[in-house]
Amino acid sequence: MKKNSAPLLIFILLLFDLIAFTSILPLFPALIDYYGLIGRRDQLYDGIEMFCQFFQNTIGTPSSKHLHSVFFGGVLGSLYCLLQFLSSPLLGALSDIYGRKPILLLSIAGTLLSYIIWASTNNFTYFVLSRIVGGLSKASVSICIAIMADVYSQKKIGQGMAIIGAAFSIGFLVGPIIGVYFSHIANAGIELAIDAPAKFAVLLSIIELIFVALILPETLEISKRKTLINEVLENCLLYIKPSALFRFAAVNNHPGVKLMQSYGRAYFVYMFFYSGLEFTLSFLTHTRFNYDSMQQGKMYFYIGILMTIVQGGIRQIPNTKHHTTAIYGIAFTIPAYIIIGNSSSANGFYIGLALYAIASSLVVPCMTSCISNEATDDVKGVTIGVFRCLGALARAIGPLFASTVFWLFDPTICYMIGGVLLFIPLFMLRHLSSEINAIKEE
């Protein structure tokens, strides 16, 4: 298979990957409630719930089982992303040495194992174990981005990021529909095992594994690979130590490292607030509007439709405009969360949701394109791995922070605080515009 066929193949691969991942989204609040049912609870679940009750009693806030599920979800979301934070840059660096294909196969195999663990039991502890294995293995997106960087020139890398963004949009469109289907079966009175989404994800992951092994070409030429495995092993701390990540120490001698650092800081701050509020979205509708899994699925379908439309336009945006487009995306996020947090009706909520979908389509693809442009071919994998690892670190902290504020206080307060604090990355990117202009003048 020729190298220039890689973009289409990566689109298909990511689509399968994201459909498997997002099919659970409409069911996630119900999943947490399911594991709390009498007869389904285990020692780990009881231990976490006892901590929740003790903590709330200690600080004098009212205890609520509905809000406990928000905190449970925040802990699981943060755990998954924390492990992704630890593994993603290392796997990205290994792909610079051994090539993209073998490391991508390793990542998909680990993800498959996590789904098998989940599908094999209805026990909460094993569900947590599956999240641990999945978090450690989930580097497929980073490697796919590196593949796009291998195939496209610096001037056209935005096209590759747009293809990845389109896969995300369609994945978020189709996956929740499948989740709605599972919910519909359950509501129709047909017994639905709670592991049905996991079994579906197992099937898709097996297809992904075969697809990569037999069809996807290797895109990183041997002449462009790093050759010293010791260099990666000796510098592992550069990929997991936060201070080293923010300095982009893994590519410290690269001429574009200062801009990488600035983009990395802005991206981290944005993702910290964005991911926390994003994660609690389904819990907000579950507690405020009493949305069931079917209604949750319709909500994600609405988001996916808008994201797909916007992503279709991103491909037309020149690479030189991606920085400005990211700024506009963050600007859309701020009113989105303020409106969502204060909405008392479905109409108001969906107005905020529309702004949220537009912002979600713009910021990450454009910022990823910007930082990829600063890296040479031999360090693109490491650079993108570190960049996405900063996002994973933010996602490891953000959901826990937002879920805790949501749990202890009020969803309105949670979303208002997050929306206002999103002005910080907006100002950071505006300041970075001045740095870029100064470098161009030099």
CA 317/CA 284 separation, integer angstroms: 34
If residue 219 lies in a helix (H) or strand (E), which one and from where to where?
A: none
Q: For residue 16, count other CB atoms closer than 10 A to its CB.
A: 19
Amino acid 231: pLDDT: 66
Taking the CB of residue 439, how many other CB atoms lie within 10 A of it? 11
Q: For residues 88 and 91, what is the distance between their CA atoms, to the nearest angstrom?
A: 5
Tens digits of pLDDT across the chain (442 residues): 566 788 899 999 999 999 998 888 777 777 777 777 766 678 888 887 787 777 666 655 555 666 667 777 778 888 888 888 888 777 877 888 888 999 999 999 999 999 999 888 778 888 889 989 999 998 888 888 888 888 887 677 778 877 888 888 788 888 888 877 776 665 554 445 566 788 889 999 999 999 999 999 888 888 777 766 676 666 666 777 888 889 988 787 777 888 899 999 999 999 999 998 888 888 888 888 888 777 887 888 888 888 888 877 776 777 778 899 999 999 999 999 999 999 999 899 999 999 999 998 889 888 988 888 888 777 776 787 788 788 888 988 998 888 888 878 888 999 999 999 999 999 999 988 877 776 655 5
Could you say which DSSP state residue 5 is in? G
Print burial letters for 166-203: b (CB count within 10 Å at least 16), e (below 16): bbbbbbbbbbbbbbbbbbeebeeeeebebbbbbebbbe
Give the DSSP letter of residue 88: H
Contacts of 121 (CB under 8 A, 6+ apart): 127, 195
pLDDT score of 228: 63
Question: Whole-angstrom Cα distance, residue 283 to residue 34?
Answer: 15
Q: Where are the domains of the chain?
A: 3-219+243-441
In the prediction, which pLDDT does 318 show? 79
Q: What is the spatial distance between Cα 12 and Cα 234, in angstroms, rounded to a whole number?
A: 35
End-to-end Cα distance, the chain: 43
Can you give the pTM of this predicted structure?
A: 0.79
The string of DSSP letters for 106-161 reads: HHHHHHHHHHHHHHT---HHHHHHHHHHHHHH--HHHHHHHHHHHHS-GGGHHHHH
| 3-class SS of residue 408 | helix
Torsion (CA) 364, 304, 289, 422 in degrees, nearest 10:
20
Beta carbons of 387 and 364 less than 8 angstroms apart: no
| DSSP assignment of 45-72 | HHHHHHHHHHHHHHHTPPP-HHHHHHHH
360 to each of 297, 319, 332, 377, how far by Cα in Å? 18, 18, 9, 28
Identify whether the C-beta of residue 175 lies closer than 8 Å to the C-beta of residue 20. yes
pLDDT at 68: 67
What is the CATH architecture assignment of 3-219+243-441? Up-down Bundle (1.20)
H or E segment at 100?
helix 100-119
